[in-house]
Amino acid sequence: MKNIVLIGMPGSGKSTLGVLLAKSLGYQFLDVDLLIQQREGALLQEILDSRGTAAFLDAEEAAVRSLDCRGHIIAPGGSAVCRERAALHLKSLGTLVYLRVPLEELQRRIQNLSNRGIAMEDGQTLADVLAFRSPLYEAYADLIVDCPDEQGVGETIRNILAQLREAGVV
């Protein structure tokens, strides 16, 4: 049983949906942000504040590349696709599902942009980050699931499961 990896922007629902998918499919759930915090002994925002974005991306890449599992729903950080070796390792672990959420919905969901632990440079906006990452998410994704703002969690789970079944993943 291979893994299913949920990729997408912070606020796209990777952790929330990942837990529900794991329950639905009988998989384990793995949150890479928690793994990073455990490995580094610091919160994501503390790593960003004290060491900078490049060091954070290094730590994230190392955490991702340490993964060796099967039968998991994996929720990596939104910036995991920013490092090619991390993204390719995720692809080697299973099916990548991009949770595509419109910018307006991401802005509504993310109220704590300055202390959320998002890898972004000073002066960058959420729109800038999305513009940079969207082509990467799309390039690495095996499946793309649109998550419009009016769609509830239950409907999103049904859509993900339908696409996974259609693709023969589950």
| The pLDDT of residue 53 is above 90 | yes
- For the chain, the domain total comes to 1
Q: What is the mean pLDDT of residues 161-169?
A: 96
| The pLDDT of residue 114 is above 90 | no
Residue 70 structural domain: 3-166
pLDDT in tens, 121-159: 889 999 999 999 999 999 999 999 999 878 899 999 999
| The pLDDT of residue 100 is above 80 | yes
Where is average pLDDT lowest: 35-44, 65-74, 146-155? Answer: 146-155
pTM over 0.85: yes
CATH value at residue 115: 3.40.50.300
Predicted local distance difference test score (pLDDT) of residue 1 = 77
Q: What is the mean pLDDT of residues 91-116?
A: 92
Q: Which two tokens stand for residue 123?
A: 């002066």
Q: Encode the chain in three state secondary structure.
A: CCEEEEECCCCCCHHHHHHHHHHHHCCEEEEHHHHHHHHHCCCHHHHHHHHCHHHHHHHHHHHHHCCCCCCEEEECCCCHHHCHHHHHHHHHHEEEEEEECCHHHHHHHCCCHHHCCCCCCCCCCHHHHHHHHHHHHHHHCCEEEECCCCCCHHHHHHHHHHHHHHCCCC
